[in-house]
Structure 1
């Protein structure tokens, strides 16, 4: 709502303070370095999305979206088509999360950009917003999403309560962050932005069982979060309202999802003064983030001269909470049934890294269904036993560390430990490396010249008058 009549008192409520941050940022803009950071995330989302065109999740969701009528207002990445804004957000959010190559916030263990950026791009394109306005909205939406995730992080437990309960915090919190971004771009005032978030809090959903036992529905979670966020903002613009205590209330967001372990104070800690945004980790590899340190440990041993043909035993140490995702059940992780399952396997990813991998270390070619059946990889994966490591437990979930111990035929043991994930603040990806990741993502989709033009367009969004050129280039 953009009117001046007050519907409820937001003073002092969590959603009221988050909405005030959104309204203030729309008026004054993000600091330049944060706009640049979000532009890098836009580039990452576009590359991940273009790489996912042939994934079953992308084909299924796009097929359904084509049957939904409405104004052709925003681009479906790689589809050659335009859809209503909420539908485009659904398609593009599904694409953005389908290759498991989207960024990660720690310790909330959220992938915020995969839902918020598609929502912001869809509404930004539909409304003719400037690049800077889209970056401001996406930046605030990402910040809100990860702060809500932090509200469910239990320091004593050392893990996300969302995760402990089998809930996909990425999609649950992403719906609310997407609503804030969409509401900003639709021009809603602080009260309307609060309503949009309050509505989206009823829409957030997602279960993590697919990580353990399969199914492609998880890939659609971020699409549904983006769709829910845009829809919630449209509902708020039309007059639907949300509860003022939607975050902290007895039947509100945090208590409903996380129970007594929820911590509202973390959502508001230094709000507007400290930004979580620049500390969010880019993923160099298109597989579950818990596997990345093991991949890098294998690469370290290769650089030290280890011959994979001499390996007779591999011990992979990771944080205890990680085991159920990448190591259990052991037989299934040693011989994943598909390329998608392989992306969630510690033994498989370590084996691929030892055999050379592709891309920046391992790449999309390592996670095809054909690669999942590769005899050499499976032979090496069967040598891997996984266990919890005390030092990794101490570091997790501020990093996803790993230690790799390998015994060779001569009886010698070789060890490599990775405490800081590649792509995070302590081990960042440069612009050139991020562009390389984008180029690898789109090498079968765009010519080298077109790929470079898209990269320049995404990184140049702070000065762009609109999204038209960029989205036309990725629409296909």
Structure 2
């Protein structure tokens, strides 16, 4: 491994344990607050899905009563179990935030961790935003050092591998651990990292709980360290440690520690517009341009999508025939075909596909006409602004093409209004528009008032949870 630093675990521990509100730049705190609002919407949108119900039933069966809110119900559990459910809901429906150049999902592990511990510890918004900033920055820096190679070369999933370290960093911050205990907490978290991306090849819904495992294990790691459990002091950088196990030779750990606490990377966070894998968003946006120009499914003879290598590898393998929701949301072929045939990629559209046993004939037919290629321009722009070019050959012989950048990404960011509209689309069905507006105002007020964050997920739990649709 290049750039190995013997003190990396210690440096990250000191960062998480020592970060204070006054150390975090205002724009970073604002990004953290946006993560909370986006996560609030994503949790409600995913609160009634089968994987969230399974996680919730398990947590209720195995957990004990506590003070932390659980999405969709009035029962309260201890923080680790509540975070398991809430993170599963936030990540499971493919609506959670992402970071472009690090190729990670951070909010789905960190936000539920902080909200669950916020309930349990009765913390204020300044402490919460500080912890979110610490946890998110940790995940992003690990991603910059180790992904996408970690996924492409070795098949690990960034959310469950990096997420547990970031969740532990956030928990360290809220629990007020001393530096040495924090160092052990990161080591205990590293011992619980795992999860592969085989779901992008042969399906299955295990991916849905990867963020839940990361959040709950991060809290568990900090709690155990607080109780005195120890871990290797070089758990992350050691020759048999985290980076070697998950990243192998293609790791640059200097990117984790370089100007830690001075330079921040939350400005690279993106907000998803649609309920599908991040890599599919730019191609969908390009195809949508052609749809608005009058392209109809019956016009298509073939579609070629030029994208980056990571997207082609991650989303281009499942093809036109899928058997579960994971396959549908990760298949670039299916997601593009849905855009033309069903008119969208919101949860409601994927639910319609699911109701048809993933075999709507026109969707499958159109998906089989799609080819995925790596474009030079798209590969160059991947770490700055993910883009795609879609070329359609029509049955009459003419060609149409369009280029697009993923909307909601750092190069085309959502405003607060855009984000609020997305959250309305995600959460109105479960909590109502008035409460969505109230929560939005409350979270924005965190930027200038230090108020308790407890009970944010309690609102609307008496309503019947239903399918949500987002079309921000």
Which residue in 2 is equivalent to 1:395? 381
Which residue in 2 is equivalent to 1:204? 193
Which residue in 2 is equivalent to 1:423? 408
Deviates more, 1:463-472 or 1:38-47: 463-472
Residues 1:461 and 1:120: Cα distance change in structure 2 (over 3 Å): same
Structure 1, gaps ≥5 residues long = 1-10, 154-158
Matches of 2:157 and 2:64, distance apart in 1: 30
Matches of 1:370 and 1:134, distance apart in 2: 40
Structure 2, gaps ≥5 residues long = 463-472
Matches of 1:357 and 1:460, distance apart in 2: 37
Deviates more, 1:34-43 or 1:224-233: 34-43
Conservation of the 8 A alpha-carbon contact between 1:317 and 1:392: yes
Conservation of the 8 A alpha-carbon contact between 1:56 and 1:216: no
1:449 to 434, 443, 461: 434
Matches of 1:31 and 1:475, distance apart in 2: 34
Conservation of the 8 A alpha-carbon contact between 2:47 and 2:72: yes
1:140-159 superposed matches below 5 A: 140-153=134-147, 159=148
Which residue in 2 is equivalent to 1:470? 456
Which residue in 2 is equivalent to 1:90? 84
SS in 2 for 1:443: helix
Relative to the length of structure 2, the TM-score reads 0.91
1:118-145 deviation digits (Å, cap 9, x = unpaired): 1111111100100111111011101011
Spell out structure 1 runs of 4+ moving beyond 6 A. none
Matches of 1:30 and 1:136, distance apart in 2: 7
Deviates more, 1:442-451 or 1:216-225: 442-451
Relative to the length of structure 1, the TM-score reads 0.90
SS in 2 for 1:298: helix
Q: How much does 1:117 deviate?
A: 1.0
SS in 2 for 1:472: coil
Q: How much does 1:307 deviate?
A: 4.1
Conservation of the 8 A alpha-carbon contact between 1:313 and 1:406: yes
1:78-118 deviation digits (Å, cap 9, x = unpaired): 12211001111111111111101111113231101101111
1:9-408 superposed matches below 5 A: 13-26=7-20, 28-153=22-147, 159-329=148-318, 333-355=319-341, 357-358=343-344, 362-368=345-351, 369-370=354-355, 372-408=358-394
Q: How much does 1:202 deviate?
A: 0.7
Which residue in 1 is equivalent to 2:469? none
SS in 1 for 2:111: helix
Conservation of the 8 A alpha-carbon contact between 2:81 and 2:216: yes
Considering only aligned residues, what root-mean-square deviation do their CA atoms show, in Å? 2.0
Matches of 2:342 and 2:109, distance apart in 1: 32
Residues 1:279 and 1:195: Cα distance change in structure 2 (over 3 Å): same
Matches of 2:431 and 2:440, distance apart in 1: 11
SS in 1 for 2:263: coil
Conservation of the 8 A alpha-carbon contact between 1:29 and 1:133: no
Q: How much does 1:402 deviate?
A: 1.7
